[in-house]
Structure 1
């Protein structure tokens, strides 16, 4: 079975253990990449991994 490549932004929040509004703030500040499909905002799985990798690099 193929893995989901994009998640709705509201479903990305639990991955980070963050609130939905925090995820939207990250999207708005362009720290988390997202795309709009119709009226839905989607966060690609690669963007989640990239965000986490960037956070680890900044912390080091």
Structure 2
């Protein structure tokens, strides 16, 4: 009995996108103080770029 593995190409890779977003944000806030990071994140949340509630 042979088992065949059917591979399908993902239309959307959530893990990959999450890592890309996290890496981009990490680079942007790397040299910021805590207060600057809070201002940056609050600004992003207010602009509606992120659907996460405070």
Q: TM-score range by the shorter chain?
A: 0.3 to 0.5
Higher relative contact order (CA 8 A, sep 6+): 1
Which structure has the larger Rg over C-alpha atoms? 2
